[in-house]
């Protein structure tokens, strides 16, 4: 994998570069966006809020097929990047495994394109019609519950960190705390899992949430 980090030298830039290189990525660092495209999978903009809109727009034009994300050390600096066109807002404090897993998951989604339907065991989700059914039972979800469900389905069994859920579902709202994610996941779990049904939504304590096939879990335990 190849990453291009754009920004002035800083501890955040140096740390991200080291984390990616330790995991086998080819990483280049430039002080400014190049005038012509380069071969890369991910473009990381070390965020300057005064120039963010212009830099994101230029990055989109130059690297049309690449994942474009922003990097910031403070939560306040990350507000608004998604609304301005970034694929993701990355917290510079994330651990190395979470950084790489999150970038790889986003790359898979970008290359696959949007899906209109998902099936997980006896759960079916029609994105276009916003219809959710499990074992023939219709499940009514709020808008944010549905967004979380689709986000977890898109991750294909990988754990989605709380920070990623906050950024995606509450972009720009700095007053939302992690317990809002926990409360939302708890409501979604109650809607999905009926009496006697195997659990689909799982918690990785201190990290985030994922959807796993109950059939596969049963086989693995056997």
Using an 8 Å Cβ cutoff, are 61 and 130 in contact? Answer: no
Q: So what's the pLDDT on residue 201?
A: 94
Instruction: Give per-residue pLDDT as tens, 16-39.
Output: 888 888 888 899 998 888 887 778
> What global pTM score does this model have?
0.53
Q: So what's the pLDDT on residue 220?
A: 39
Q: So what's the pLDDT on residue 123?
A: 92
Q: Tell me which of 97 and 47 has the higher pLDDT.
A: 97
pLDDT at 113 over 90: no
pLDDT at 120 over 70: yes
Q: Per-residue DSSP letters for 101-140?
A: HHHHHHHHHHHH---SEEEETTEEEETTTTEEEETTEEE-
- In this structure, the dihedral spanned by the alpha carbons of residues 89, 94, 46 and 78, taken in order and rounded to 10 degrees, is 40
Instruction: Give per-residue pLDDT as tens, 54-100.
Output: 788 888 888 878 888 888 755 544 556 666 677 888 777 776 677 88
Helical spans, DSSP H, in 142-203:
143-154, 162-169, 178-192
Instruction: Give per-residue pLDDT as tens, 140-168.
Output: 999 999 999 999 998 888 888 888 888 78
- Helix, strand, coil abundance in the chain, percent, nearest 5: 40, 25, 40
DSSP class of residue 170 equals S
Which domains are assigned to the chain? Answer: 2-112 (3.40.50.2300), 117-221 (1.10.10.10)
């Amino acid at each position: 994998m190849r990453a291009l980090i754009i920004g002035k030298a800083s501890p955040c830039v140096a740390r991200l570069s080291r984390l990616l290189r330790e995991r086998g990525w080819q990483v280049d660092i430039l002080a400014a966006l190049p005038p012509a495209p380069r071969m890369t999978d991910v473009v990381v903009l070390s965020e300057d809020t005064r120039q963010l809109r212009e830099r994101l727009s230029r990055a989109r034009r130059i690297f049309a097929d690449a994942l474009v994300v922003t990097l910031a050390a403070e939560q306040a600096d990350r507000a608004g990047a998604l609304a301005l066109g970034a694929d993701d807002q990355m917290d510079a404090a994330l651990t190395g495994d979470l950084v790489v897993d999150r970038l790889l998951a986003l790359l898979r989604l970008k290359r696959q394109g949007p899906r209109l339907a998902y099936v997980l065991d006896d759960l079916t989700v029609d994105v276009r019609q916003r219809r959710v059914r499990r074992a023939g039972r219709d499940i009514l979800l709020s808008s944010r519950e549905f967004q979380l469900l689709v986000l977890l389905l898109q991750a294909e069994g990988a754990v989605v960190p709380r920070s990623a859920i906050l950024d995606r579902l509450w972009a720009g709202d700095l007053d939302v705390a992690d317990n809002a994610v926990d409360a939302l996941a708890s409501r979604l779990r109650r809607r999905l899992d009926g009496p006697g049904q195997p659990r689909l939504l799982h918690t990785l304590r201190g990290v985030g949430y994922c959807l796993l096939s109950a059939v596969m879990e049963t086989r693995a335990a056997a």
